Amino acid sequence: MSLGGIPSQGSAVLRPPIADSWRRSQLFGVVPELDRAAISIGDVDPRSRLMTAARPVLDQLVEQLTGTRFSILLADRDCRLVFRWFGDRGMQHRLEELGVLHGSQLSEGRVGTNALGTPHESRQAVEIHGQEHYADALKRFSCYGHPIRHPLTGRIEGVLDITGESDSGNPLFGPLVKRVVGDIEQLVLESARACERRLFLAFQQATHHRSMPVAVLGGDLVFANETCIEQLRPADPTLLRTLLPQVPERGVFDTRLDVGDGISLSVVAERVEGSADGAVFRIAKSQSSSRKPAPAAAKTARSVLITGESGTGRTTEARARAGVDDPVVLHSAAALREEPRAWAARFADLVAQPRTAVVLDDVHLLPESLLPLVGEALDSPESARLLLTSVPSAAMSPAVAAIAARCAETVTLAPLRERLDDLPAIAVAMLRDEYPDRKPHFTGTALAALRTHPWPGNLHELRAVMREVSRLPYTGVIDLAQLPPAYRGSSRTRQLGGRELAERNAIVTALRASEGNKLRAARELGISRTTLYRRMQALGVTDDCPLL
Q: What is the pLDDT of residues 130-183, one digit of tens each?
A: 999 999 999 999 999 999 998 877 788 999 999 998 766 677 788 999 999 999
Query: What pLDDT is attached to residue 95?
Result: 92
- The answer to whether the peptide bond before residue 237 is cis (omega within 30 degrees of 0) is no
Query: Around 430, how many Cα atoms within 13 Å sit in the side-chain half-sphere?
Result: 20
The answer to whether residue 473 is domain-embedded is no
Per DSSP, helices labelled H in 303-405 are 314-321, 334-337, 340-351, 371-379, 398-404
Element (H, E) at 175: helix 173-206
Identify the CATH number of the domain in which residue 521 sits.
1.10.10
Domain count, the chain: 4
pLDDT at 291: 44
The torsion defined by the Cα of 196, 202, 205 and 210, in degrees rounded to 10, comes to: -80
Is residue 468 assigned to a domain? Answer: no
Q: 518-525 vs 529-539: helix axis angle to the nearest 10?
A: 90
* 431-466 burial: b if 16+ Cβ within 10 Å, else e: bbeeeeeeebbbbbbbbbbbbbbebebbbebbbebb
**Final residue belonging to a domain, choices 144, 172, 191:** 191
* pLDDT (0 to 100) of residue 548: 55
Question: Do 151 and 248 fall into the same domain?
Answer: no
pLDDT at 542: 67
Q: Does residue 476 form part of some domain?
A: no
| Residue 279: domain span | 197-285
Give the pLDDT band of residue 288 (cuts 50, 70, 90): very low
> Which of these ranges, 44-58, 149-163, 438-452, has the smallest mean pLDDT?
438-452
Both 37 and 110 in one domain: the answer is yes
pLDDT band of residue 19 (cuts 50, 70, 90) is very high
* CA distance linking residue 173 with residue 297, whole number of Å: 78
Beta pairing class for 303-307 and 328-331? unpaired
Assess contact for 50 and 77: CB atoms under 8 A.
Answer: yes
Mean per-residue pLDDT of the chain: 83
Q: How far is CA 343 from CA 81, 231, 331, 358, in A?
A: 69, 53, 10, 14
pLDDT at 168: 63
Pick from 348, 347, 299: which is nearest to 322 by CA?
299
Q: β-strand 303-307 against 409-412: which pairing, if any?
A: parallel
Q: Cα(125)–Cα(116) distance, rounded to whole angstroms?
A: 10
- Model pLDDT, residue 260: 61
Q: What is the SS3 string spanning 26-94?
A: HHHCCCCCCCHHHCCECCCCCCCHHHHHHHHHHHHHHHHHCCCCEEEEEEECCCEEEEEEECCHHHHHH
3-state DSSP assignment of residue 187: helix
Whether 237 has a pLDDT exceeding 80, the answer reads no
Q: Provide the pairing of β-strand 141-149 with 156-165.
A: antiparallel
pLDDT band at 285 (very low <50, low <70, confident <90, very high): low
H or E stretch at 120:
helix 117-122
**Rounded to whole angstroms, what are the CA distances from 243 to 145, 178, 261, 415, 479?**
35, 37, 20, 22, 20
**Nearest alpha carbon to residue 90 among 71, 75, 114:** 71
- 145 and 45 within one domain: yes
SS (H, E, C) 134-164: CCHHHCCEEEEEEEEECCCCCCEEEEEEEEE
Q: Do 244 and 308 reside in the same domain of the chain?
A: no
Same domain, 21 and 167: yes
The more confident residue out of 521 and 153 is 521
Give 305's pLDDT tier (boundaries 50, 70, 90): very high
Residue 65 is assigned to a structural domain of this protein: yes
Residue at which a domain ends, from 366, 398, 416: 416
Q: What is the band of 5 on the pLDDT scale with cuts at 50, 70, 90?
A: very low
List pLDDT tens digits, range 58-100: 999 999 999 888 999 999 988 999 999 999 899 999 999 999 9
Helix extents (H) in 408-528: 423-434, 444-452, 458-470, 491-494, 498-513, 518-525
Q: What are phi and psi of 73, to 5 degrees?
A: -125, 140
Residue 186: CATH number of its domain = 3.30.450.40
Q: Are residues 107 and 123 in the same domain?
A: yes
pLDDT of residue 322 exceeding 80: yes
Structure confidence at residue 26 as a pLDDT band (50, 70, 90): confident
- Which pLDDT score, from 0 to 100, does residue 362 have? 93
Q: Are residues 256 and 310 in the same domain?
A: no
Say yes or no: 178 and 208 in one domain.
Answer: no
Q: Is residue 548 part of a domain?
A: no
110-129 per-position pLDDT tens digit = 899 999 999 999 999 999 99
Q: What is the pLDDT of residues 376-415, one digit of tens each?
A: 999 988 889 999 999 998 899 999 999 999 999 999 999 9
Please say which residue of 241, 260, 285 terminates a domain.
Answer: 285
Within a domain: 424: no
Q: How confident is the model at residue 337 (pLDDT cuts 50, 70, 90)?
A: confident
Q: Rounded mean pLDDT of 360-378?
A: 92
Same domain for 263 and 313: no
- Which CATH number covers residue 328? 3.40.50.300
Domain membership of residue 457 (yes or no) is no
Whether 347 has a pLDDT exceeding 90, the answer reads yes
Q: 220 with 138, same domain?
A: no
pLDDT at 486 over 50: yes
Whether the predicted pLDDT of 419 surpasses 50: yes
- Pair 93, 176 in one domain: yes
Give a yes or no: residue 300 inside a domain.
yes
- Same-domain pairing of 250 and 147: no
Q: Considering the entire predicted model, what is its pTM?
A: 0.47
